[in-house]
Amino acid sequence: MHRAIDSFTDHHPLYLHSKQYFRPSYRLFSGIVVDVLYDHFLSAHWEEYNKVDRRKFIADAYRTMNLYKIYLPPRPQRLLPAIIHHDWLGAYASFNGLEKVLERMSKRTALPAMTINAIQILRDNYGEMERDFLSFYPELQRHVAVFKESQATR
């Protein structure tokens, strides 16, 4: 399912539209920034898409990750205590949290370390990117539902 979601997302016109804001600065990594920003929009609009309280969902996710951490690769196993302690999943809801997420990613990945630039681009284009997300996400949900249905009939 993860591959189906990634493929759908990577080729979707609204996602590609959001990426164009970051392409001059981030080039090939613009998709990573948009993924993080779309996670922010999901957090900001959580109640529209999920009946479970966001904080409860995050707490349950941390519990589940902790319970099954032995199945994670070594690096995520080592990071899990910090992820939980610093509430990485909860951080997506605020600009301050987004800055921290992007800073951490730039230290651990090939993502260029231009967090302030990304946050400024988001601030300058927030409404348009939010509209992209709000139109994109229901389409993604439908795509996932169809994917699940196709897997269930196999």
Give one DSSP letter per residue of the chain, joined into a string.
-HHHHHHHHHH-HHHHHHHTTTHHHHGGGHHHHHHHHHHHHHHHTHHHH-SS-HHHHHHHHHHHHHHTGGGS-HHHHHHHHHHHHTTHHHHTTSHHHHHHHHHHHHHHSS--S-HHHHHHHHHHHHHHHHHHHHHHHHHHHHHHHHHHHHHHT-
Q: What percent of the chain has pLDDT over 90?
A: 63
Note if the pTM is more than 0.75.
yes
**pLDDT (0 to 100) of residue 2:** 87
Contact 91, 97 (CB under 8 A): yes
Over range 114-131, report the average pLDDT: 88
**Measured distance CA(66)–CA(99) in Å, rounded:** 25
Q: What are the domain boundaries of the chain?
A: 2-49+93-152
